[in-house]
Amino acid sequence: MKKIVVILLAVVLAVSFSSSVFAGGAPRGVFKKGIITEFNEQAGTILFSPNDAEEELTLTLDKSVKQDEITIGKRVIVSLDTKDQSL
C-alpha cells in the first residue's frame, strides 16, 4: 500500500511541474514604466518620460494603438521595438 501512495505522489508531483516546463517565459522586447507627457495626434507620436531615466523618449505609436485612449499624465508600461523605438 505504501508503494502505491509513493508512486501516486511521484506522478502528482511530475504532472504539477510539467506545466512549468512548457511555459513560454517572458515576452520578447523591452518594457519601460513611465508617464506620457505629450501627445501629437497628427504625427502619431508621444513624449514618454520613463521612471528609470532622466531623458524623455519620443515614441511612434503602432497602428494597433487606439489614439483616443491616450491620456497625458497617465502612468503606463510601454513595449519598445528596439530598432526604431516605436511603441
Output the pLDDT for position 23. 61
Residue spans per domain, the chain? 30-80
Output the pLDDT for position 47. 92
Q: Which CATH number fits domain 30-80: 3.60.15.10, 3.40.190.10, 3.20.190.10, 2.40.50.140?
A: 2.40.50.140
Output the pLDDT for position 86. 52
pTM: 0.56
Contact 84, 60 (CB under 8 A): yes
What's the rounded Cα separation, in Å, for the pair 21 and 53?
A: 35
Q: Which of 17, 21, 19, 27 is nearest to 80 (CA)?
A: 27
Q: Across the 87 residues of the chain, what is the mean pLDDT of every consecutive 10-residue run?
A: 88 76 64 90 89 84 83 86 58
